[in-house]
Structure 1
């Protein structure tokens, strides 16, 4: 029996070493205390080298955590469960360790025993400190980005507004030269307007990356109508027709979904066939177990499809359409910055959804929005 008991004791001690724990036991009926060998090791000593019952251990408790340790020790001596505590020690070898201690009062007939367990949580605390440092770095980067956005939206746009304004005044003064000067002014105007458009689109893209998104249940018909109204001048200029059927009620970020429809509709209007009025049809269906991409599990989605009769595109370029700054057509022929569809992709990601594109040259295109049902 003694051999069996010794083996069990050795096994328990081995388990404590593997788990980085130690335990102690206070018998309240006899006022005797026992400490496991690994408890001593957690504090940087060999078994029996320190008297836990005295104040020896206070010498190695971190000065800022002594009150925590003393209050917990005094509470446990009264035979009362104490809340979990976390404190630091400085071992005799100079190593700082984070320890966590818990106690539990056990009662059986007339016997009361207070059990305590102490764990070495240094590695977890070290990881937590690193995470907190990274979070502080990220917060600093966010603040810097906010400052950058402010500079872009104010400081950089001001000279552009002045360039456009003064060129406009020169044209109003009927300044016409037989030399290429008038052509130069025209090119300056086009370049300035394009830079202004690029800045605005970059700001809009950065705003879709913000985490402070407020979702609200809304019928998608609302932001869709707002988008159509916003593009009314372009629609009239091209004699465009836009049809849509019943839209679902979904938890959305309303202003982002409005921007989503604005970008998709303006894309269809921009890439319409010359001399043919654009016809844009928006439909909604719901499908179960849709497989969008191989790496994404099938799910149920509301599928919003935006069809147009525009110039279309080669299907091999369908994924590149959503890359930032990517353009399929020359900027001299079609205005734009190559950011609009990238914004659409980001907005769908914010809604835990997806966007796909399908097209054929000269046969129009269809963009599909997959909102989780």
Structure 2
């Protein structure tokens, strides 16, 4: 998934944990409900067992009472005792029906209750006829005959009572367990619920704090991004490829001089595009359909105020969380850049014309100017050979000045040619060993070095990427400068040293992030005033009288031009009558 969208892995985990927590709570609630239900049922069973037990006790009491009334009737044989017998017998039958009702759902006692009914009817028959017509002897005989029924009846009742007591004990044990378990279960359920809720609350609070922090950061980033877009004259946009809706950043409307309502959709934005460039937008849409995911386009737009602006669009397609294709990108107003590029193109064109004129000047200087100069020098040479001895003293002096002027003119033309050619970078940069360059320079100035009794102290010089011919000119001009301005009657000492320095230590440098070789040429000549440390590199600049120190004032200007060509710099330090130091900086 593209980094533009939030990774939903944590959200999925939290959702999963929340669902698990809900399931656990639901199961706990269901189990708790079942336990409460079981407790309630066991309480009902206990109450039922107690009621059955009481009904049996009542039945036994009524049986005893009926048995007493039965004896009284046999003894007294009158209507009153018969009435008492019948009334107690009714009570007995009622207590039996009460017991039968209470045991209707107890299948284990169903048979027993039927047998009990038979014993009661056999032992205690009702007096269905008037007492005067009833045979006392027959009743007495029947009573004696069923004498043992009472014992069996009571035993049967005791058996039923025992079964009830056993069932009661069983239900009480179960109830005791069920009654103890729900509070513990409720306690643990409550604890777990509180734990889950506390965890959820902590997670929500943490998420809320993180959300606030993220939201504040997003607001800050939005403000920074809006200012950045405004400063950088750019804006961004994104749109769902399947829909016509498009979102533009705030700066977009400023750049187009319009409001949001004027192009909330891609089709309305196209209305701002120059009619001749609208096919480019459609072409971009087609490339998206074909699956191309990155492209750059240039087209023109017409602002609301009628201004024509040039736009560069860099766009890319990505997939969101729902696997839908989103087109996002930035567009930059490059109108000012194009204007500057056009101005630069015109300047380059003018520079090319200037270079052509300079090449023409080189041709003129090397041919048209040198040709008449050579003729002048030829005639001067003939005059010296054939007529110089015949000249009076004053004329000889004037003739010598003419010779000196022609020689100076020759040097000036040659130096100008060298200076103009140093601007050309059509020569190849190759690995150049500066130790070899220094050896060549010493050979070139061998006679003059001996004449000045010069001692050159040179360390090991580096190998650099350079134009060898220009490096030779650089070394020759610097050494020549030291020879020219050497002190009279004092041996000249030139010391050459090298070290590597950081670009940020060097003032007036193009690229201060690189490392540079610092090659220092130190001499013990006449030096110069430090206030002229920069002006000595200007063309035709001279600090001394020409009659005493010959030169055209171009040599150090050539040095600066060569070092500039090699993306370096040159500087000088001097002290009057105490020598000079020239520092050459070349990229490592």
Separation in structure 2 between the aligned mates of residue 184 and residue 217 of structure 1, nearest angstrom: 51
2:326 corresponds to which residue?
114
1:74 aligns with 2:290: no
Q: 1:305 aligns with which of 505, 521, 530?
A: 521
1:342 corresponds to which residue?
557
SS of 1:356's partner is: strand
Aligned pairs for 1:140-159 (under 5 A) are 140-159=353-372
Q: 2:341 aligns with which of 111, 128, 133?
A: 128
Superposed CA RMSD: 4.2
- How far is 1:78 from its partner? 4.8
SS of 1:338's partner is: coil
SS of 2:317's partner is: strand
Distance 1:188 1:34, change over 3 A: same
Aligned pairs for 1:84-103 (under 5 A) are 84-90=296-302, 94-103=306-315
1:265 aligns with 2:479: yes
Question: TM-score, structure 1 length as denominator?
Answer: 0.74
Question: TM-score, structure 2 length as denominator?
Answer: 0.50
Between 1 and 2, higher relative CO (CA 8 Å, sep ≥ 6) is seen in 1
Distance 1:54 1:218, change over 3 A: closer
2:399 corresponds to which residue?
185
Separation in structure 1 between the aligned mates of residue 408 and residue 262 of structure 2, nearest angstrom: 77
Per-residue displacement from partner, 1:114-168 (whole Å, max 9, x unpaired)?
3244625133333333333333333333333333333323322222222112221
1:225 corresponds to which residue?
439
Structure 1 gaps of 5+ residues are: 1-7
Separation in structure 2 between the aligned mates of residue 46 and residue 132 of structure 1, nearest angstrom: 36
Larger radius of gyration between Structure 1 and Structure 2: 2
Separation in structure 1 between the aligned mates of residue 254 and residue 506 of structure 2, nearest angstrom: 53
Distance 1:246 1:56, change over 3 A: closer
Q: Tell me which protein shows more helix as a share of its residues.
A: 2
The question of whether the paired residues in 2 share the 8 Å contact of 1:358 and 1:367 is answered with yes
1:105 aligns with 2:317: yes
- How far is 1:263 from its partner? 1.8
1:358 corresponds to which residue?
574
1:34 aligns with 2:245: yes
Distance 1:279 1:109, change over 3 A: closer
SS of 1:328's partner is: coil
- Aligned residue-pair number: 354
Structure 2 gaps of 5+ residues are: 1-218
- How far is 1:316 from its partner? 4.4
The question of whether the paired residues in 2 share the 8 Å contact of 1:82 and 1:103 is answered with yes
Per-residue displacement from partner, 1:25-65 (whole Å, max 9, x unpaired)?
2343xxx31034777886677666679766994895353x4
Q: 2:546 aligns with which of 331, 347, 364?
A: 331
Separation in structure 2 between the aligned mates of residue 300 and residue 40 of structure 1, nearest angstrom: 48
2:274 corresponds to which residue?
61
The question of whether the paired residues in 1 share the 8 Å contact of 2:478 and 2:556 is answered with yes
Q: Tell me which protein shows more strand as a share of its residues.
A: 1
- How far is 1:336 from its partner? 0.8
Separation in structure 1 between the aligned mates of residue 542 and residue 315 of structure 2, nearest angstrom: 65
